[in-house]
Amino acid sequence: MSIDVKKLETLLESYLNRTPNLISALVVDRDGLVIGSRAKKKKSNVDEDLLSGISAIVEPILKKITKEFKTGSFGSGTFDTDNYRLVFLEAGSYSLLVTVADFYANLDDVYPYAYLCAEKISRLFDNRTVGSDIPMINLGVPRKEMEPVKDGKIKQMKFEPGDYVFKLVIAGDGAVGKTTLVQKFVEEKFNEDYLATIGANIMKKEYKLRGEDVVCQFSIWDLAGQDLFKRARKSYFSNASAGIIVFDVTRKITFEHVKNWMLEFQIVGKPIPIVLVGNKVDLVDKREITQTDAETLAKELNLSYIETSAKMGSNVEEVFEMLAYFLVKANFSQMESLNL
């Protein structure tokens, strides 16, 4: 087992900076040995003591996990101490991501980022392509928070097992890379040859939510971006569960049209989670839109934002994983509210 520890710690640093009310984050192996860790600088006066203290309690907690969840796979769980909330999340076959938050931290603010961070850690161990930046998440879905309880027990965080069917609509100007993004996710390949989509291209993908006995059946509608298809596009938004708006970071005009695409999504008739994607970040020298400008627009529109490279495979799966997590959680929260 080998991993780029420097890249791992850069990833943990991004995770801490993105996520509210966190104190530190550690990656440990199944025996509780710390592989990499980071703590927020503003709490640097407690960093050394905190990390050593957390390291000391990780091993016995892992033993409890092994005893309580005998399958060896527990997905995720929490453990509350007198001062902190600990979140454990599987990060591949070798390790766990341990997140230390303030005792009154809202875990619904933590989990979306934790899932993405754990997935990236898993890829680092598998020597797969992975970006070290955690995206900005703002999907505005229903939340049901679990209050902290100091009862000495590990609380397993699980979704109801089963299949969930979702329609995703991916929109954006022509030639921004919508089709290549979908192909990379569905078929795990990149096509250098550009062919314009005529009307809409529909592809399906079965995606298992990592660490859960949950399968998402995605029907992905890749919409043609040219104006001549605008009238036909209206019917394609019907019954959409979520959306993705893609722009090309090397073409400013495609970024300026994002608000127009948001207007088209109003046809759905209800609030749905939408992710704004800045594609082609591998073309560094040709870049016209900065990450700061894109995140500012995303905040204005109440969207999540993530940067991708379909060619390099960077952050492509994260886009769909982000939506899968929120869609399943929103569905599960609605079932709970109805006592189903």
Q: Which residue has the tokens 């899968």?
A: 324
- Type of residue numbered 105: A
- Phi, psi for 147 (deg, rounded to 5): -70, 145
pLDDT of amino acid 335: 41
pLDDT of amino acid 322: 86
Q: What is residue 266's three-state secondary structure?
A: helix
In sequence order, the β-bridge partners of residue 28 are 34, 96
pLDDT of amino acid 157: 64
pTM above 0.85, yes or no: no
What's the N-to-C CA distance of the chain in angstroms? Answer: 43
Q: Which long-range contacts (CB under 8 A, 24 or more apart) does 199-207 make?
A: 199/223, 199/224, 199/229, 199/232, 200/224, 200/232, 200/233, 200/236, 205/320, 207/320, 207/321, 207/324
For 16, 88, 104, the CA distances from 24, given in Å and listed in that order, are 7, 13, 15
* Distance, CA of 294 to CA of 278 (rounded, Å): 8
pLDDT of amino acid 63: 65
Burial class (CB in 10 A: 0-12, 13-18, 19+), 195: exposed
Q: Kindly give the confidence (pLDDT) of every residue in the chain, 340 residues in length, as a single tens digit, with 9 standing for 90 and above.
A: 577 888 999 999 999 998 888 988 988 887 777 888 888 865 444 455 666 666 666 667 666 665 555 445 556 778 887 888 888 888 877 788 889 898 888 887 888 888 889 888 888 888 877 778 888 887 554 455 555 555 666 676 667 778 899 999 999 999 999 989 998 888 764 444 434 444 578 888 988 887 678 899 999 988 887 765 676 677 888 889 999 999 999 999 999 999 999 999 998 988 899 999 999 999 999 999 999 999 999 999 999 999 999 888 889 988 998 898 888 887 755 544 333 3
* Distance, CA of 37 to CA of 33 (rounded, Å): 11
Alpha helices per DSSP H over the chain: 5-18, 44-68, 107-125, 178-187, 230-233, 252-256, 258-265, 291-301, 316-337
DSSP code of residue 250: T
Domains of the chain listed by start with CATH number: 5-156 (3.30.450.30), 162-337 (3.40.50.300)
pLDDT of amino acid 56: 66
